């Protein structure tokens, strides 16, 4: 089988929006900030 994205993620934050909660969101924000630095 294969997996398909429902919609195209414009940014990493969009891509991971489904996980946007609590500590994970904070860690993700830091990861994105580090990646964009």
| pLDDT tens figures, 1-37 | 666 655 665 777 766 665 556 677 788 788 889 988 7
Q: Which residues of 5-29 are buried (b: 16+ CB within 10 A; e: fewer)?
A: eeeeeeeeeeebeeeeeeeeeeebe
Q: What is the pTM of this model?
A: 0.35
> What is the CA 36 to chain-centroid distance, rounded?
13
pLDDT at 37: 76
């Amino acid at each position: 089988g294969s997996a398909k994205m429902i919609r195209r993620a414009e940014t990493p934050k969009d891509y991971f929006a489904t996980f946007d909660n609590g500590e994970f969101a904070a860690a993700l924000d830091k990861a994105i900030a580090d990646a964009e630095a």
